[in-house]
Amino acid sequence: QVSADDPETAFCTLANREELNPEEDSIHHCLYQFTRNETLTETNKLLCDVCTQRHCGPKNNIKSEKKYVYTNAKKQMLVSLAPPILTLHLKRFQHAGFNLQKVNRHIKFPEVIDLAPFCTAKCKNVAEGNTKVLYSLYGIVEHSGTMKSGHYTAYVKMRAMNNHLSDLVLRGQSQALETEPVKGQWFHISDTHVQPVSVSKVLSSQAYLLFYERLL
């Protein structure tokens, strides 16, 4: 979906992504790589209708002559609508020859994350002038084992009702002013076993799925 027809603003973000300098093996680095600007060349060139019409004449003659014109292009995937709940799914496998191998290394993630460097400059449901889109961590899914077998556990924060989040979900309105993590107690859940854990324990987990709720 094209969110900006103006080439000058099509690749602009709410916050300057070049100032991030994200640390390797971090969720910021993952998001930075996923939303990086790509150049499409050679076999990845883009079919250009305008160039084709210039080369072949009127549009009704394009299909008959089959002289399509492909051109170099730039591509970038950015967030155009900041969701009430942000779910990040980490790719926990890699190809090892003809087999799939699980990726076990720890990926760092924060309690509060700013999505603004990965949002388009004209991101919907973000007030004009805002340069931050903050989210607070409230849930994690962790997988232990291999690609063939294993066990899923979860970390969940028990916290008070977030009225601002309810307004955003039910009415599409955001008046949240919080910039700090939502206060609450973290619990580790494995089948029927539940126990309280510290924030440091949560942040050291090997996350497979991350769940954040909108703050600002």
> How is the chain split into domains, by residue range?
80-214
Residues 6+ apart with CB under 8 A from 111: 136, 137, 181, 199, 203
Q: What's the pLDDT score for residue 153? A: 96
Can you name the residues that pair with 100 across neighbouring β-strands?
95
Q: Among 155, 162, 106, which Cα is nearest to 134's? A: 162
Give the SS3 label for residue 169.
Answer: helix
Sign of torsion over alpha carbons 98, 100, 105, 109: positive
80-214 CATH choice from 3.90.70.10, 3.30.360.10, 3.40.190.290, 3.40.50.410: 3.90.70.10
pLDDT over 80 (residue 167): no
pLDDT band at 33 (very low <50, low <70, confident <90, very high): very high
Average pLDDT score over the chain:
84
Q: What's the pLDDT score for residue 141? A: 96
φ, ψ of residue 5 in degrees (nearest 5): -80, -20
Q: Among 119, 93, 86, 92, which Cα is nearest to 107's? A: 92
- 10 Å CB burial of residue 53 (0-12, 13-18, 19+) is middle
Taking the alpha carbons at both ends of the chain, their separation in whole angstroms is 25
